[in-house]
Structures are given as structure tokens and as C-alpha cells.
Amino acid sequence: MDIFFYTGRGLPPFISNSSFKALQLALPHFYSNQEIFDKISLPEYVGIQDSLSYLTIRDIMNPRCHVLGGAKPDSITVGIPNNQKITIEEYMSFVNKSKVDIAPSLSEEASLSCGNHRSKRSAKNAIVMLDSCLELKSPALKLLGNIQGGKDMESREFCAKEMKKRCVDGFVIGGIDLEESGAQLRRVVGAVYNGLSGDSRMIVLSGPGRPLDIVYAAQHGITFFESCWPFILAEKGKALDLPLVNFEDAENIEDMDFYEPELDLNDEKFAMQKGALVENCECLTCKQHHRGYIYHLLRVKEMGGNTLLAIHNSFVMKKLVEKLAKAKEEGKLGSVYADFVNKYCMGSFSTIN
């Protein structure tokens, strides 16, 4: 169980890539310069050869980077930055020569805001395109079935069931946009969970990777998670307010859109405050810096403030996945979502006023 943290052209926003075990690399960032990968692999090129590399078809933090399909399941159009048509053969040629560790099959990305026609089309075409990708993959590549279907739960489940029959290394729940999270996303996870019931291969949840969605997904068999959320919050001057402890048994709850605890360090109330962002947090930021100092850095528009927040937020996300992995080992995954909501999502939980 791990997180594939977002990178912009190989580097996470605000901080170095050296502290991450698993990282995303976006196709649009490198596709136009692919001739260099005849001589050097993409992970080596960006300096992450010691980390697990995972290719994404789009840059989730770029709202103009749409991945569109058509009636024929043989190509997609990606904004990189201008719209460019990419065939299955061209995509798999790039994937194989780049030597990334893991990549999804090529597919149109149908978000949860898409209409019914595109949602159904994306699921059917994704299955056909997966079969073509499997014929072209190199032996070293781990290819994931790209489960599509937009907001249509029947299409999602159908796509998952069909891809489960294929000889793939795992699956990715695709088509999740930056702003898509909460109860609707969790219904998609549930539909895919039903379709992949009993399968032990790796499953990746695409999207922003918010803590609550990750916890729910882990409870439903997801083992890897895309996440750019730590850096989005850092850019806004916000910190995750999660004093994490081990998961415990809890009764099931009715799912809805819950509050997720954050600290807005732009608020003047932090100007004179001493103490860590979150009490007992062991990240470098919390051990060495005060809230008031981070407020000052943000106020004078010093990027060091965003960097300190990115360090804290990414540390918290790593600890969250460690706690989830421990719960899985102890057989407690069945109640982690309810426990997380009860502990952290009913109000502000920072112990420092």
C-alpha cells in the first residue's frame, strides 16, 4: 500500500523528489521530447530511478489537459499543451521506450461530470483498447487496466468485470478530476469493488487523493493512490490537521460529504502562535518551526512557507497510509472509514488553540 505523489515534470511542487518512494510522471510533460528515451529511461532522466515510477495519461493539475476519445477505440486526443492525437501504437511505443515501472492502458478519461453517452462509451472503448495495449507491452512493464465509465455505476462495474478477465498486472480507477471527491467518488469505488471482488492484483485510485477518499478506498480493496492534495493545500497556505493515531473498531456510518480538517495559515490568528502545526507530529516542519513563522512566510509571499507546508502535508499522507497498512495487517480495515470520520471529520481537531 502506497501513494504515487504528483510531480510536475519529475519534481513535486515546492520540494525535492528524493524523499518519495513512489511518484507520478505525466505523459503530457514528456511526450514531445520522447526521442531522448532511446538513450536513457524516463525515471533516470528525471532522477527518480530509485523510486517506483507510475505514468499518468494526463496532468491532473492542468485543467486544460483533457483526454478525449471518439467513436473508434484506437486513439485519444490529449492537450499537451495543444490538442494532439495519440494512437495506441504511439502510446505503447512511448511507454515501452520510457521504461516506467507502471502504466495504465490507453483510454479516454470520462470524469464524473460527463454525460451518460460518454460514460458508457468510455467503458466499452477502454476494454477494447486494453486488449490492444496488452499485445504491444514490453515484458518488464506492469500494465494496468484503465477502468472507465464516468458517473455510470453499471458501466464502471461492467468495465471492471471485463478487465478482471484479462492478463493485466492490476487496475486503475480512471477518469477522476481534480475537483471530484466525496460521496460520489466513493460510490464509484464501491462499484469497482463489486466488479473486482476477490481479485488480489494492485488497484490504483486516480484523482486528487484526499485523505477521506483514500481511507474509504483502502477499506474497499484499493492498494495504491494518486495524490496531489498535499501540494494543492500547500499552495493555498493550508496544512492537514490530522493528529493520526492507530485505527480502532467502529460502527458503520451513513456516507455523506464530511468535513476534512485543515489549518489555514493565512489566518491572522496564527500570527503570534508558537508550537507545531499539529501537536506530536514528527515531520521536519513541526519539529523545527512555529505556526507564526509559517504565517509570516506566507504573508510576505516567501515560497519557503509553501515548502514547509508541503513537507508537513506529504508526511501526514505517508503516515496515513502506514496506519492503513497496519490496520490491514491487523484485520481492521473493515471499519477504518467510520473510525476516521468519527475521530477527525466532525469538527476541528487540532489540540493547539
Shared domain check, 99 and 220: yes
Range of the domain at 257: 235-344
Q: What percent of the chain has pLDDT over 70?
A: 97
Of 14-18, 130-134, 192-196, which gets the smallest average pLDDT? 14-18
Residues 115-162: tens digit of each pLDDT = 999 999 999 999 999 999 999 999 999 999 999 999 999 999 999 999
Shared domain check, 45 and 23: yes
Residues in CB range of 340: below 8 A, 6 or more apart? 211, 212, 215, 247
Give the confidence band of 353 by pLDDT, cuts at 50, 70, 90: very low
Shared domain check, 97 and 128: yes
The dihedrals phi and psi of 102, each to the nearest 5 degrees, come to -135, 140
Shared domain check, 259 and 142: no
Could you give the residue ranges of the DSSP H alpha helices within 196-335? 211-219, 229-235, 284-288, 291-299, 303-329
Shared domain check, 216 and 291: no
Question: Does the residue 352 lie in any domain?
Answer: no
Strands 75-79, 83-87: pairing kind? antiparallel
Shared domain check, 209 and 149: yes
Residue 175: is its pLDDT beyond 90?
A: yes
Question: Does the residue 353 lie in any domain?
Answer: no
Residues 162-172: tens digit of each pLDDT = 999 999 999 99
Name the burial class of residue 264, with classes exposed (0-12), middle (13-18) and buried (19+) by CB atoms within 10 angstroms of its CB: middle
Give the confidence band of 351 by pLDDT, cuts at 50, 70, 90: very low
Decide which of 171, 206, 227 is a domain's last residue.
227
Q: What is the mean pLDDT of residues 292-301?
A: 98
Residue 192: is its pLDDT beyond 90?
A: yes
DSSP state of 271: T
Question: CA 194 to CA 215: how far, in whole Å?
Answer: 17
Nearest to 126 by CA among 91, 168, 74: 74
Shared domain check, 279 and 198: no
Decide which of 196, 227, 258 is a domain's last residue.
227
Question: CA 95 to CA 42: how far, in whole Å?
Answer: 9
Decide which of 192, 227, 262 is a domain's last residue.
227
Question: CA 84 to CA 75: how far, in whole Å?
Answer: 10
**Residue 214 vs residue 19, higher pLDDT:** 214
Q: What percent of the chain has pLDDT over 90?
A: 82
- The pLDDT value recorded for residue 179 is 87
Residues 235-292: tens digit of each pLDDT = 999 999 998 888 888 787 777 778 888 999 999 999 999 999 999 999 999 999 999 9
Residues in CB range of 120: below 8 A, 6 or more apart? 149, 150, 152, 155
Shared domain check, 47 and 165: yes
- Cβ(33)–Cβ(26) below 8 Å: no
Q: Please state, in angstroms and as integers, the Cα–Cα distance from residue 228 to each residue in 5, 7, 271, 313, 324, following that order.
A: 6, 8, 27, 10, 19
Q: Please state, in angstroms and as integers, the Cα–Cα distance from residue 93 to each residue in 20, 43, 99, 158, following that order.
A: 27, 16, 10, 28
- The pLDDT value recorded for residue 260 is 84
The number of beta carbons lying within 10 Å of the beta carbon of residue 182 is 18
Shared domain check, 330 and 191: no
Shared domain check, 261 and 176: no
Question: Does the residue 276 lie in any domain?
Answer: yes
Shared domain check, 266 and 323: yes
**CATH code for position 66:** 3.20.20.105
Question: Does the residue 278 lie in any domain?
Answer: yes
DSSP state of 288: H
Residues in CB range of 136: below 8 A, 6 or more apart? 88, 89, 92, 93, 96
- The pLDDT value recorded for residue 352 is 32
User: Taking each helix axis from N to C terminus, what angle separates 211-219 and 303-329, rounded to the nearest 10 degrees?
Assistant: 20
Domain count, the chain: 2
Question: Does the residue 350 lie in any domain?
Answer: no
Residue 349: is its pLDDT beyond 60?
A: no
Question: Does the residue 349 lie in any domain?
Answer: no
Question: Does the residue 91 lie in any domain?
Answer: yes
- The pLDDT value recorded for residue 347 is 52
Shared domain check, 186 and 51: yes
Question: Does the residue 241 lie in any domain?
Answer: yes
Average confidence score pLDDT of the chain: 93
Question: CA 216 to CA 15: how far, in whole Å?
Answer: 28
Residues 28-82: tens digit of each pLDDT = 999 999 999 999 999 999 999 999 999 999 999 987 788 989 889 999 999 877 8
- Cβ(327)–Cβ(336) below 8 Å: yes
Cell numbers standing for residue 312: 508537513
- The pLDDT value recorded for residue 79 is 82
